[in-house]
A and B are shown apart, each in its own frame.
Chain A
Amino acid sequence: MAKKYKSDDFSDLMAVSLIAVVSLLAYNDQKAISQTKSAVSFIFFMFMLMVLLIFALILFLNSRKSETDSKESLRLGGIQMVNLSQNQALKHDLLLYSMPIIVLFIPLAGGEKIVFNDILQVIVAFLALAYLKIIYWGKIF
């Protein structure tokens, strides 16, 4: 028999209460059983999505924390000193300013009008590329 850890009790309790809460949320005696089942699966799906997002967030925050810790980076086997060249900056800048324009005019090529969403999408594209520029160069300009 496998050894039982103290934390097992806690995780059992968490799992049971999670299922109870989800079932309570989905339960409605006006509905047929199949509808209740689909509601339960939908809520589970949303919950798993939320857990994945939280996990990704934790990974992201951890990465930023250990960035200042060079020992940690050495232990994880990955410091590689690289000389960036100005050509790379040139290519990055070309992408940074040309990609938003291309993204903005794609709806026209597809025969639709430009709407406000496209402006927001342009802003997202620009911010993503600018963030990458900050990662590697520490500055945008």
Chain B
Amino acid sequence: MWIVILTTATTIILIAAGTIIFVKNKIRIRRALAAGGNSALPIELNWTKGLRHTITMYLAPVIILALPFVSGHKPTINDFFQAATIYLAINYLKMIYWK
């Protein structure tokens, strides 16, 4: 029963926070467009950022796949799909920032 409560609470928190942040981003975009441009801040894309991004991209799926071992289970096809999802999300972010 407590896992249902935990799942519901996690989902509600994520959806609420996501909605708030989405609205905030929309307001920022509208203000930036009104001010003339959409660029937010200049940053320096160097190889260290790329390296950290790549390490995260490959380490996060590994941790997700390894977590069942910690609690004494074996990974199933669901864990594989979870790892694949997060890998694809981070890869998409790499595409966003590095073109």
A89 to chain B, nearest CB (A): 6
Asked if B22 and A90 sit within 8 Å, CB to CB, the answer is yes
One of A1-9, A12-20, A26-34, A129-137 contacting the partner: A129-137
B44 to chain A, nearest CB (A): 6
Contact of A135 with B14 at beta-carbon distance under 8 Å, contacts A78-B46, A99-B89 already known? no
Interface size classification for chain B: 35 or more
Interface SS, B side: helix
Residues of A within 8 A of B76 (CB): 110, 112
Tally the A-B contacts, defined by beta carbons under 8 Å.
Answer: 173
Contact of B42 among A83, A89, A115, A135 (CB under 8 A): A83
Within 8 A of A (CB), among B26-53: 26, 28-29, 32, 38-49, 51-53
Residues of A within 8 A of B90 (CB): 128-129, 132
Within 8 A of A (CB), among B42-76: 42-49, 51-53, 55-56, 59-60, 63-64, 67-68, 71, 73, 76
Residues of A within 8 A of B51 (CB): 59-60, 63
Asked if A90 and B29 sit within 8 Å, CB to CB, the answer is yes
Interface positions of B (Cβ within 8 A of A): 3, 6-7, 10-11, 14-15, 17-18, 21-22, 24-26, 28-29, 32, 38-49, 51-53, 55-56, 59-60, 63-64, 67-68, 71, 73, 76-79, 81-82, 85-86, 89-90, 92-93, 96-97
